[in-house]
Amino acid sequence: MSPNRHSIEAVSTAKKIKTPLKASVVLLTSMILAACNTTDEPSYNLNDVFETIPTDPTDPTDPTDPTDPTDPTDPTDPTDPTDPTDPTDPTDPEGKKTGVQSLSIDATALVGKEFTDTTRDFEVGEDSLVARADTASEGLLPKVTITTSGDNDTELDNGFMSHEDSTEITTAVGKLPLAYTSIYKDFGDDMRIGHIDGAAVLGDNNLAVNGVAVTGNATKAANMPTDGKVGYTGDATYRKTGIGNDVEFGKSVFTADFVAKNVKGDLTFDKAGNIGINADINGNQFSGTADKNSGYTTEGGFFGDDAKYIGGIYEGNGAQGTYGASKDPVDPVDPVDPVDPVDPVDPVDPVDPVDPVDPVDPVDPVDPVDPELPEPPANPDVKADTEFTGFQSNTLSSQKKGSLTDDAVGYGEIRDDKSSYVWDKDLTNTEIIDGENVAIDDRTGDNFTGYDKFIARADMTKPASVKASVEVQLTGEDDADYGNGFKVYNGSTKVKGPLTLTLDYASVYKNFDSQMQIGHVYGDPGFMGGAFARVSTVYVQGNGTNLEDMQYMKDLAKYNIDNNINDGMVAYSGVATYMENLHLSDTDRGGAVVDGTSNFDVDFVGGKVDGTLTFNDGDYKYMPAGNEIKINADISGNTFAGNQNGIDTAGGFYGEDANFIGGIYQDAPTKGGKGELPGEGTKFQGTFGAEKVVK
């Protein structure tokens, strides 16, 4: 506002005082006199003052010359209206950063145990996060603020960065210095994945601290897609927990099905191999359990506008990792050139009516021409994997012999090529579950290396009784025919336990074009002529189908569906085997049954394996009703796993273009098939192998 307007307002305010000057003086005088009174009675009041001082008549005032009218003030130019604040784009992601973290603290030296916890309840900053050591340690440790990035961080492979830092953890035994490394990657401004790995110093001990996290601006739940499938491609990491282990960088590929509400993906590493991810979507988050992910649990979510990024963490099998991927681009539609306007046509003179033409005989209808099909997906020129992979299930049983052995049976869980465990007398590398020592899989194994032998992981089935893995010879030069394309090799090996037992065994196997092998290994380990245990192993191994071929099978199936060629299902037909009497106290067993058939329908688009194993009539004790066993499993990469009617199964696809499917199954009425007497716990097991049916 101008100074002139300030001056005008001041004059206007002064003119508002209406009291005559003399009356004002009187009023002021009365107030002063009242203030000077020294008694409780007033000396004066306003009436006294005004009555004793009459007012003199005022002389008439000379008329004032009229004031020249003031020039009107120029109106002030109106102020430009303020630009309204730009409204927030409703498709923007959430403003507050959130995420999920998994923290592992090896506090064995402090309290004799390891702590592990996964949570979404933590604070996230631009370059930091709060590690929930308090919940992981059940209140033993406090929350710890971790700086995840800073200036001058070191560049690593695949766009990852490394940040070195340190802090202190306050505990009841004092402050623990923690030096750590943060390895992270940002996806735009909306998502970050990373590892935090270090060691907290407690006296002469170093406590391993390992964490993984995905953080960022999550896609608003209201903006999540609700239909269709979306592909994502990006990065993955893998690291064994502990001190001094490196992070391995890999690739990730995902498909998010927003109708079925699930996420399926594959993480690929040169050393760690392939890890399948299978999770259920809930709002803008997803999670998957260990039984669907080969022993790994996974948590993650969608970030950025319109679910632009997918990111998550996984942990299990003695390792941790992360993955982050961007939405695959959609091919743009080519714009159509505008059509030039047509010049108006001059009016035509009316034409004289034409005499009607005799009707033409109808022409036979022409058969409709099938529309031209689009080009099918190209089959990549890739070979099957050269490195062997596979699955095995090892059932061990004993019967009570005084104080030496008890009645027992169990298989623990199905193991794969990477399964491994190192025995020591203190069973350091085990954990107590349901009162028993269970081996901790360190994922460093190489159990399948050829079709002539493999490493049987009986040590992981019963760590307290078996001290080492067992190398088993599978084939020989003069193996006998066993029927239905199977052969049998008879061998002998040693099993190390409280006593070193001799295992005379039979190996019954079938090869599929040097690409896949299924088989049984069974016998009763003994000592000085007496049987102390029973071993029953089933396995599948071979050259796994290349992941590019697996994607081709999926694309081809979708092409067939989209063009109404067929339902996209791929059929397989082959053989199946069966063995029961797994308990040492069961009657003598006659060997593996190999007369079964297997038929499968594989949905490569939906990621499902559905099959039936059928066996001839026989003198069975535990065979399911109708001599049929149902197989139902979820595909992850080039492998699959599942449970149908209390029967565990695992297997994979082998050869080029997934030409073969093979797997194993194990009766699992209880966790790990654990039981005591015959008929309790696991009772039967078997294998299946089939070839693609060409229609």
Per-residue pLDDT for 174 more than 80? no
pLDDT confidence of 80, banded at 50, 70, 90? low
Per-residue pLDDT for 640 more than 80? yes
pLDDT confidence of 360, banded at 50, 70, 90? low
Exposure string for 523-550, b = 16+ CB within 10 A, e = fewer: bbbbeeeeebbbbbbbbbbbbbbbbebb
Per-residue pLDDT for 346 more than 80? no
Per-residue pLDDT for 240 more than 70? yes
**What tokens were used for 58?**
């005022």
Q: What is the pLDDT of residue 3?
A: 39
Torsion sign (Cα): 481, 572, 548, 259: negative
Per-residue pLDDT for 463 more than 80? yes
Per-residue pLDDT for 417 more than 90? yes
Instruction: Tell me what the mean pLDDT of segment 556-562 comes to.
Output: 94
Q: What is the pLDDT of residue 16?
A: 36
Per DSSP, the residues of 337-401 read PPPPPPPPPPPPPPPPPPPPPPPPPPPPPPPPPPPPPPPPPP----PPPSSEEEEEEEEEEE--B
Q: What is the pLDDT of residue 498?
A: 77
- Mode of pairing for the β-strands spanning 608-614 and 628-636: antiparallel
Q: What is the pLDDT of residue 341?
A: 63
| Least confident interval from 119-123, 211-215, 227-231 | 227-231
Per-residue pLDDT for 355 more than 70? no
pTM above 0.75, yes or no: no
Q: What is the pLDDT of residue 315?
A: 96
Per-residue pLDDT for 180 more than 60? yes
Per-residue pLDDT for 433 more than 90? no
How far apart CA 316 and CA 309 sit, in angstroms, is 24
Direct distance between the N- and C-terminal alpha carbons of the chain, in angstroms, rounded to an integer:
90
Residue 551, Ramachandran bin (φ over 0: left; ψ between -120 and 50: alpha; else beta) = alpha
How far apart CA 193 and CA 235 sit, in angstroms, is 10
Most confidently modeled of 293-297, 336-340, 543-547? 543-547
Per-residue pLDDT for 224 more than 70? yes
Q: What is the mean pLDDT of the chain?
A: 85
DSSP 655: S
Q: What is the pLDDT of residue 33?
A: 31
Q: What is the pLDDT of residue 343?
A: 62
Instruction: Considering only residues 76 and 661, tell me which one the structure prediction assigns the higher pLDDT.
Output: 661
Q: Give pLDDT tens digits for 20-52.
A: 333 333 333 333 233 334 444 443 343 333 333
Instruction: Considering only residues 446 and 83, tell me which one the structure prediction assigns the higher pLDDT.
Output: 446
Instruction: Considering only residues 433 and 417, tell me which one the structure prediction assigns the higher pLDDT.
Output: 417
**Burial class, 299, CB count within 10 angstroms (exposed 0-12 / middle 13-18 / buried 19+):** buried
Closest of 491, 501, 493 to residue 401, by C-alpha:
501
Q: Give pLDDT tens digits for 187-207.
A: 999 999 999 999 988 777 888
How far apart CA 260 and CA 291 sit, in angstroms, is 19
CB-based contacts of 246: which residues, under 8 Å, 6+ apart? Answer: 239
Domains of the chain listed by start with CATH number: 25-54 (no CATH), 98-327 (2.40.160.90), 388-692 (2.40.160.90)
* 491 three-class SS: strand
Q: What is the pLDDT of residue 458?
A: 94
Instruction: Considering only residues 68 and 532, tell me which one the structure prediction assigns the higher pLDDT.
Output: 532
Per-residue pLDDT for 117 more than 50? yes
Instruction: Tell me what the mean pLDDT of segment 541-550 comes to.
Output: 97
Per-residue pLDDT for 13 more than 70? no
Torsion sign (Cα): 315, 318, 324, 329: negative
Instruction: Tell me what the mean pLDDT of segment 94-108 comes to.
Output: 93
